[in-house]
Structure 1
Amino acid sequence: MKDFTISVPASTANIGPCFDSAGAALNLYLTLQVSEADNWEIEQHSELLPDETNYEENFIYQIAKQTAERHNKQLPACKVIITSDIPLARGLGSSASAVIAGIELANQACELSLSTEEKLHYGTEIEGHPDNVAPALLGEMVISVKTSDHEIDWIQLSDLNLDVIVYIPNIELKTEEARNVLPANYSRDSATTASSISNILIASLLKGDYNLAGKMMEKDLFHEPYRANLIPNYKNIKKEAKSFGAYGTVISGAGPTMISFVPKGEGQAIAEHMKTVYKDYQVNMLEVDRVGVQVTQSLKRAAE
């Protein structure tokens, strides 16, 4: 087995009204450096990763083992050095990134030759829906759906001409907690209006009408009205960002991170201002990752 490195981007999902159906890859990364070894060994070199006592408890290893076994393969022993820029339980797709990393680890180590469609299906089975795994796998902004016949259809929105700002608080919010505040059912009128808002958002992004897109981002009826009280400074961040030129600001995934779409070239200036207002937050200007998961072979082994 040749040494290789796996890099998987973070992701933001929902984008306001596109609940469980849209996500965008962001340039924060989970990285695995993998080499052949006599025995399994996993080193985690990031404060953002969970504490573990042995490799069998590692989530990425568990996903890799599961993926290998469904193809009747056994994972070869590896040394895996893991680093991450993606904070856990903050609404930036850390779980989906780990799932894609595990699937790709098995794909490379066991030479499974998995197709993109297989990776997306496996990831969706584990995560429940494709809104985070699709952009982590494919890059860009991805609109996706898992239909009742278990098919997954998706389309990428490429070359969005905007900057992205994230506001990451120093607290966690588990997805399960954020799910529990949502209603079990929506009325027909509410669902119709909510889905129409989502339709206009996607159409406006395709057309490049980012002012209309921002307006629609902030009119969600599916999840934000119910989760707002779980998110620190929810209204204040939206208002402050809008006053400095943001198109729209929404909850990233299930939260508690919030995210703004802002005019291209103005992101850094807006982010610097927001840092002075929200000093307890990690405020960063990010970019949309265009590629998704990447695998690079060790130059040393390649030369050999």
Structure 2
Amino acid sequence: MYRIHVPATTANLGPGFDSLGMALSQYSIFEIEEADQVEILIEGLEAEKLSIENNLVINSMNRLFDYIGKYPKGYKLKTINHIPLARGMGSSAAAIIGGLLCANALMGNPLDRNAILKLATEIEGHPDNVAPALFGQLAVSMQKENKEIFYKLIKPFDKLKCVLFIPEYEVSTADSRGVLPKEMSMSDAVHNSSHLALMVMGFMYGDEELIGKTMDDKIHEPYRKQLIREFDNFKKAALDSGAFSFCLSGAGSTVIAFANEKNAEKVRQSLDRVAKNYNVQGQSIILDPCINGASCQEVQ
């Protein structure tokens, strides 16, 4: 049997729209072994929302089988979900990577990780979540018009903590994409490109002040935050309590603050106070960045 762990992710990080993502130390688990027929078991967080029909894990497995032109007689698959659904924490990316790694392991690992990334990007549409889910760390990625994928990984600096508030309510992909403008001004484009370039440098050098000054977006967050209850109050509370930057996690509904280990708990408590004061149901957590990405182990 093979056991696969795939991390949650946070994408965009402000100005890095569809091009930047970081792996987080919260994992969904997938177990796969050969069998005479197909057996599926789904457990874990919000398992009642995950059906076998049109299941992203199974669809991703079938995509790999089709790609290599080989199919198993059967298999027993168990998925244990630990990533909230439709909250901007990469649940779909984890399902895609989990399914591809399960199928790859079952067939004797015919594909390397770059080939896995290519298939995952074809399924997801862009690599900003699937790249960090697969490789870990902070991933800067892009896909050319010819479908060629480029990425670079940045190891998160020591003592970086990610403080998240995960609301109970969901934000659908359709809604989050639907509020985006069809066009942007030249000044907004320059704003984002300059801020993204310097913010990436901030993460490379562990410069908290630079990250704080450059995690500022004009392409998606000003429009999407209207879908997020009390976004501005969460942001003010996080920054006032010691976080050096704050943004939507993906398209939301989760929000994420970046802090160091000395004040992460204070930041978490500040998010809880906002949630209590404004009656926003949810959970605050502190996560480390995930360094190693998805793992696959053969177990007895």
TM-score range, shorter chain: over 0.9
Cα deviations by residue, 1:5-48 (Å, 9 ceiling, x for unpaired): 01100000000001000000011111012222222111111142
Identity score, percent: 36
* Distance (whole Å) between structure 2 residues aligned to residue 52 and residue 224 of structure 1: 29
Contact residue 13 and residue 20 of structure 1 kept, 8 A: yes
* Distance (whole Å) between structure 2 residues aligned to residue 23 and residue 49 of structure 1: 25
2:295 matched residue in structure 1:
294
Contact residue 49 and residue 88 of structure 1 kept, 8 A: no
* Distance (whole Å) between structure 2 residues aligned to residue 242 and residue 200 of structure 1: 20
**Counterpart amino acid of residue 294 in structure 1:** S
* Distance (whole Å) between structure 2 residues aligned to residue 147 and residue 50 of structure 1: 38
- 2:17 is matched with which residue: 8, 19, 34? 19
1:251 matched residue in structure 2:
248
* Secondary structure of residue in 2 paired with 1:148: coil
Matches within 5 A, 1:160-179: 160-161=157-158, 162-179=160-177
- 2:232 is matched with which residue: 229, 232, 235? 235
Matches within 5 A, 1:1-80: 3-51=1-49, 55-80=52-77
Contact residue 65 and residue 75 of structure 1 kept, 8 A: no
**Counterpart amino acid of residue 208 in structure 2:** Y
Query: Across the two proteins, how many residue pairs are aligned to each other?
Result: 295
Q: Structure 1 residue 63: deviation in Å?
A: 1.0
2:195 matched residue in structure 1:
197
1:103 matched residue in structure 2:
100
Q: Structure 1 residue 83: deviation in Å?
A: 0.8
Q: Structure 1 residue 245: deviation in Å?
A: 0.2
Bigger mean CA deviation after superposition, 163-172 or 57-66: 57-66
Contact residue 12 and residue 132 of structure 1 kept, 8 A: yes
**Counterpart amino acid of residue 288 in structure 1:** P
Q: Structure 1 residue 273: deviation in Å?
A: 4.1
Cα deviations by residue, 1:254-278 (Å, 9 ceiling, x for unpaired): 1010001002343234323433442
Matches within 5 A, 1:210-225: 210-217=208-215, 219-225=216-222
* Secondary structure of residue in 2 paired with 1:159: coil
Bigger mean CA deviation after superposition, 130-139 or 159-168: 159-168
1:263 matched residue in structure 2:
260
Cα deviations by residue, 1:177-220 (Å, 9 ceiling, x for unpaired): 10111111212222112211111111122222112202211x21
Matches within 5 A, 1:78-117: 78-117=75-114
Contact residue 45 and residue 82 of structure 2 kept, 8 A: no
In structure 2, the CA distance between the partners of 1:52 and 1:16, relative to structure 1 (3 Å rule), is: closer
Cα deviations by residue, 1:140-169 (Å, 9 ceiling, x for unpaired): 111111122321111111032311101100
Contact residue 243 and residue 263 of structure 2 kept, 8 A: no
**Counterpart amino acid of residue 18 in structure 1:** G
When the two chains are superposed, the root-mean-square deviation of aligned CA atoms in Å is 1.5
* Distance (whole Å) between structure 1 residues aligned to residue 15 and residue 152 of structure 2: 17
TM-score by length of 1: 0.93
* Secondary structure of residue in 2 paired with 1:163: strand
Cα deviations by residue, 1:79-106 (Å, 9 ceiling, x for unpaired): 1121111000000000011000111111
* Distance (whole Å) between structure 1 residues aligned to residue 265 and residue 123 of structure 2: 36
* Secondary structure of residue in 2 paired with 1:164: strand
Q: Structure 1 residue 52: deviation in Å?
A: 5.5
TM-score by length of 2: 0.94
**Counterpart amino acid of residue 221 in structure 1:** K
Q: Structure 1 residue 51: deviation in Å?
A: 4.0
Bigger mean CA deviation after superposition, 76-85 or 227-236: 76-85
* Distance (whole Å) between structure 1 residues aligned to residue 50 and residue 117 of structure 2: 27
- 2:126 is matched with which residue: 115, 126, 129? 129
Q: Structure 1 residue 109: deviation in Å?
A: 0.8
- 1:143 is matched with which residue: 140, 144, 151? 140
* Distance (whole Å) between structure 2 residues aligned to residue 52 and residue 149 of structure 1: 34
* Distance (whole Å) between structure 1 residues aligned to residue 50 and residue 260 of structure 2: 42
4+ long deviations beyond 3 Å:
50-53
